[in-house]
Amino acid sequence: MEVDTTILFIDVRGSTSMAENLTPTEFSELLQRFYSVSAHVLTHAKAFVDKLVGDEVTSYFLPGFVGSDHAQIAVDSGMNLLRAIGYGKKGGPWLQVGVGIHTGRAYFGMMTTEVGVRDLSAHGDDVNTTARLVSEAKGGEIVLSEASYKAANLGWANLESRSLSLKGKRDKFPARVLRVD
């Protein structure tokens, strides 16, 4: 089923270097803390947390669950995620993360294989675009598509604008950048 949604991905920055300098158990504990904090913020906002994969959390703000202002709720959640990780606080973040947010359309459905592997998943260009946006976000940044910026009715003129070359996209992609003060 195809649905309109706002998609939020949060990704750890520098995880390969961190894993290299920590024991596997220490790294796993750090990721567990990241997953827990992310899931708490996202589920509190009624987002559908899709995956905890590697060093990333993927989530969807579906209008049927969060309401018609799903883009604004996703932006607020992105800011809350950064604050929960320590951005904007004395002492700073306990982990470097970036956030990507995009509003568009996605296919949601159960994917199955002949051997019984099943996964509820989302697919489509807008999901891929969100993955590309999060890869552009530096630690402490939310890279927000123009579609999400407009859908959230932000109207903040002082946001940094970027014209991004996203992997797999023919044209430059306009985006805005949010940071916690």
CATH number of the domain enclosing 13: 3.30.70.1230
Residue 43 φ/ψ, nearest 5 degrees: -70, -30
Which domain, by its residues, includes 107? 2-179
CA 134, CA 15: separation in Å to the nearest integer? 14
pLDDT at site 31 = 96
Cut 0.95: pTM above it: no
Helices 70-84 and 24-44 cross at an angle (nearest 10°) of: 140
Structural domains in the chain (count): 1
- In tens, the pLDDT along 136-171 reads 999 999 999 999 999 998 876 678 888 877 788 788
Residue 110 has pLDDT above 70, yes or no: yes
- Pairing state between β 118-123 and 141-145: unpaired
pLDDT at site 109 = 87
28: its two tokens: 């796993």
25: its two tokens: 């158990």
Nearest Cα to 145, choosing from 2, 49, 7, 43? 7
